[in-house]
Structure 1
Amino acid sequence: MPAARMWEYEMRRMKVSGERCGAGEHPSVEQLAYLLSRIDLFETFTPFTLRLVARDCEIVELAPGEVLFEYGSPGGSLYIVLDGQLEVARGERAIAVVGRNEYVGELALIDPGVRSASVRAVSSTRLLEVPEQVFDQYLRREPESLAAMMRTVTRRLRTMLDDMQRAYEQLHMQVHDMLNLLNVLNGASLVAEALPETDPHHRYLEMISQTRDRLEQMMRSVLRRVRGQPAGYPREPTDLVELVRDTLRTDLALHPDVRRVQVVVHRRGALEPCPCNPSDLRRVIGNLVINAAQAVGDDGLVEIELSQAPGKAVIEVKDNGPGVPAALLPMIFEPRFSTKPEGTGLGLSSARLIVEGLHGGTLSYRGQVGRGATFRVELPLN
């Protein structure tokens, strides 16, 4: 029998057997091979190879809420959902829900590494596990099918990149339009000029005007990066104590979470002016103080301690909240990771980018569960 007709015969045979498997039944090797043939990653492999793979795969059963793998854990297997649903998440934020005949962990077959998300069962779930060893033993035998598999993965990645590019362009347009809207806030400075400085409204109008200027600066910086325009990173000698106090007086003065707590600033010894970007450092301080205020709740205490170590300026933001559980520590600086359902998960990642990526400093955490948290910023003085 010609190879093409043999292929068709084998596929029909697998199809007849595979379709007999209902939800909840334990599938046979033939049924699992048919399932694999219906998955885009495996659709070009021969029925013979798929049977070998199906024979050596494992069925994994998860109870509702049971974790399949955690973010940052070693990867090495692909999982196909036979029954039930899986939730893919980063921290407390759900990214996707994966259902029957869909899969997770495909990149682990090609490039084993750490998992980029956590996965748990939404309901009682059965999975077909394709380990890396099985993939290496059987699937790498068919270079043409393996190339087709790579094209499938590449196509999916290209689609993701296209979606990201569209979102990036939309963000670019929105920043441009928001920049135009900022002109309305110019009225605050006009009104402030007409009022005596003793007027109780004068301070708030000045805050609006200063915030408007900083927003414009940030937005124009974003637009320059989007256009690919080279831009230096300006720094200037800065009094960190005054910068922190001014950030509290203006940027955070009306923040609802910060207003609920007591914020105390401590200066430890003499401090040299620190060469930094004042606008960006305000963002770091703001993010750390807001996070601390949200952690402690009403009537909590947030302390900002400024000191100097050999060759570096130090800013510590401490709170008397619950601290960070040990299991979450590897993720706290990751973009979009948040323990709050409504959180964006961008505050700490933004702070780390500014401190480490732009200033060459360090941002670290220490603390114990139930005994508060401390975030420590170290900035080089040279």
Structure 2
Amino acid sequence: MKGEDRIRALQQVDLFSSFSVADLRSFAFSIDEVHCQAGEILLCEGAAGEDFFVLLQGRLVVSKGKRILSEIVPVDYVGEMAIIEAKPRSATVKAAEQSLLLRVPTPLFKGCLVNNPQALLSIMKILSHRLRLDNEMISREFEQITILVHDMKNLLSLFLFLDNFPVEKGSNQEKYVRYMKMARNHIAALVEQALANVKNLVVPEGFVCNSLPVLINEMCESDFITHPDLQDKRIQVKLADDLPDFCFARLQLRLVLLNLLINAAQASDRGALIELSAQVSDNRVVIKVEDHGHGITEDVAGRIFDAHFTTKVTGNGLGLLSCKQIVEKKHGGTISFVSKPDIGTIFTVSLPLSGAGPAVPLHQTAQVN
């Protein structure tokens, strides 16, 4: 592209709106062109941010994990936060089709600002506008999620018929109806928690003195035999005889154990052994979930607790993040793991026996009974 064409292209970009023609001329001849083929990654999430780019031809797709955030068409720019701070890229940018861009080194752009300080105010306004648009998009998405959760709560009322469903006492039918009622109440509690979060209310988390063996026995009779990922595995439970009752949120800890067991099952072959154990050590309850599956490679190990990071085709990368938040933020415990490829993985959850849970809640949850 000729220098004059570059100048005309840059004049269409709001970041350069306060630059004089002379400044743009000097600037335009100091930057490089970048050609991207369809599917080629221009910016990678987590990589160092040093330059930003002006798109002249083609189309770019901005994504974070599996989620597409936006598309960029000419004449626009991407990676501009490198102007403000030297932080890793917050998203991945890929060429959706053959594209032509101008690479703008941040030091060069900042050097131009020295001779044109008025441009700083313009840039602040531009970035502020972009942040406002981002906030509006987040607000719209949050509203849609809230509506979805609200509608889910209404649909749960359909399962109230289970309370009066005629079953023969002691039959398998009675057992499975009990499991369905329990699952209904668990979902209702989670939906109520989600709605309370929208209103910045605190819902009681159920932090009372509970029995871990009773919880695990309940899971043995329900989750272990009904969840499709656990049905074809051999789950061996080893609980120390001296496990005391202690304060924990029963539903939340159940979700942690279920997430860890499902992950172990998905990393294991059919019929594989998974071990679930618990014991007391140094005034803490130590729970371990051990599998003999595929293990976790070094390049993945540092990211498994990151939001939306997953190695599964149908995964969403939220299970282990949920476990970490429940264990560490809500129970004051720790969660860790050791793994060897092709040998297996051990996840360890350590919970304080003296934990009392969060402060007294401000909002009483409504249950579907």
TM-score tier after normalising by the smaller chain length: 0.7 to 0.9
Q: Aligned residues: percent identity?
A: 31
Q: 1:110 aligns with which of 81, 84, 96?
A: 84
Structure with greater contact order relative to length (CA < 8 Å, sep ≥ 6) = 2
1:92, 1:341 within 8 Å by CA — same for their partners in 2?
no
From the superposition, tell whether residues 85 and 234 of structure 1 become closer, same or farther in structure 2 (CA, over 3 Å): same
Q: 2:259 aligns with which of 278, 282, 287?
A: 287
Which structure 2 segments of 5+ residues have no match?
A: 355-369
TM-score between the two structures when normalised by the length of structure 1: 0.81
Find out whether 1:35 has 2:12 as its counterpart. no
1:93, 1:341 within 8 Å by CA — same for their partners in 2?
no
User: Amino acid of the residue matched to residue 154 of structure 1?
Assistant: S
From the superposition, tell whether residues 353 and 133 of structure 1 become closer, same or farther in structure 2 (CA, over 3 Å): same
Partner of 1:308: 280
Pairwise mapping of residues 211-360 of structure 1 onto structure 2 (< 5 A)? Answer: 211-231=183-203, 233-251=205-223, 253-268=225-240, 270-360=242-332
Compute the displacement of 1:209 (Å).
0.7
Whole-angstrom distance in 2 between the partners of 1:373 and 1:121: 38
1:92, 1:339 within 8 Å by CA — same for their partners in 2?
no
Whole-angstrom distance in 2 between the partners of 1:167 and 1:252: 35
From the superposition, tell whether residues 206 and 327 of structure 1 become closer, same or farther in structure 2 (CA, over 3 Å): same
User: Amino acid of the residue matched to residue 247 of structure 1?
Assistant: M
Whole-angstrom distance in 1 between the partners of 2:302 and 2:111: 34
User: Amino acid of the residue matched to residue 150 of structure 1?
Assistant: M
Partner of 1:142: 116
1:64-93 deviations in whole A, cap 9, x for unaligned? 665545433332221334555555444465
User: Amino acid of the residue matched to residue 293 of structure 2?
Assistant: G
Whole-angstrom distance in 1 between the partners of 2:304 and 2:73: 29
Q: 1:186 aligns with which of 130, 154, 160?
A: 160
From the superposition, tell whether residues 270 and 130 of structure 1 become closer, same or farther in structure 2 (CA, over 3 Å): farther
User: Amino acid of the residue matched to residue 213 of structure 1?
Assistant: N
Which structure 1 segments of 5+ residues have no match?
A: 1-26
Q: CA RMSD in A?
A: 2.9
Aligned length: 354
Q: 2:150 aligns with which of 156, 176, 197?
A: 176
From the superposition, tell whether residues 269 and 137 of structure 1 become closer, same or farther in structure 2 (CA, over 3 Å): farther
1:90, 1:337 within 8 Å by CA — same for their partners in 2?
no
User: Amino acid of the residue matched to residue 23 of structure 2?
Assistant: T
Compute the displacement of 1:277 (Å).
0.9
Deviates more, 1:279-288 or 1:50-59: 50-59
1:251-305 deviations in whole A, cap 9, x for unaligned? 4542222223232222356333332111111111222222222232533333223
The structure with more helix, counted as a fraction of residues? 1
Compute the displacement of 1:201 (Å).
0.8
Compute the displacement of 1:104 (Å).
2.9
